[in-house]
Amino acid sequence: MSINFKAKVNNSFDFDLNAVDISNMDALQISETEYHILHNNQSFKAEIINQDFNNKSYQIKINNNNYNVTILNDLDILIKEMGFTTSSTKHVNSIKAPMPGLILEVDIKIGQDIKENDTLLILEAMKMENIITSPRDGIIKSIAIKKGDAVEKNQLLIEFE
């Protein structure tokens, strides 16, 4: 059984790779994050700028051009096809204040399309700034607070569509 991978670049281009393709690649590691690659007698300098192992996504710079790459194996593809991805299990439709505090910043607008882990607002509580991030991808339906508001624990802050 061969090992197959699917690479998606900039959410636009899909590439199918197998273990043989990868082992035949002419790449030389020159530092922890930099590689020198030869392909069709052409030289490329590649650098891993950012990596998220949990989501198998990477930001790579090749000859001064940035690319966002996601790599999935056969199991990842099967899990996604079956609808068992982690993001599909999150059905949070509102954000409530986790503690009493003061709204220092609101970084979103109604109708804004947001991604999981995007910063929504900053809540000051007990002299600490707490960054409240989005638990899922979605669109902001309503914002019940504004900068400078004092909020109580469990007070509605934001609703998603």
Domain end residue (candidates: 41, 68, 86)? 86
Q: How confident is the model at residue 11 (pLDDT cuts 50, 70, 90)?
A: confident
pLDDT of residue 89: 44
Same domain, 9 and 71: yes
Q: How confident is the model at residue 120 (pLDDT cuts 50, 70, 90)?
A: very high
Same domain, 10 and 70: yes
Domain end residue (candidates: 62, 86, 110)? 86
Domain end residue (candidates: 86, 112, 145)? 86
CATH code, 95:
2.40.50.100
User: pLDDT exceeding 70 applies to what percent of the chain?
Assistant: 94
Same domain, 77 and 110: no
Same domain, 98 and 64: no
> Which residue range is the domain that position 54 belongs to?
4-86
The CA angle 32-38-41, to the nearest 5 degrees, is 165
What is the value of pTM for the model shown? 0.47
User: pLDDT exceeding 90 applies to what percent of the chain?
Assistant: 52
Q: How confident is the model at residue 88 (pLDDT cuts 50, 70, 90)?
A: very low
- Beta-bridge mates of residue 2: none
pLDDT of residue 74: 81
Residue 68 has pLDDT above 60, yes or no: yes
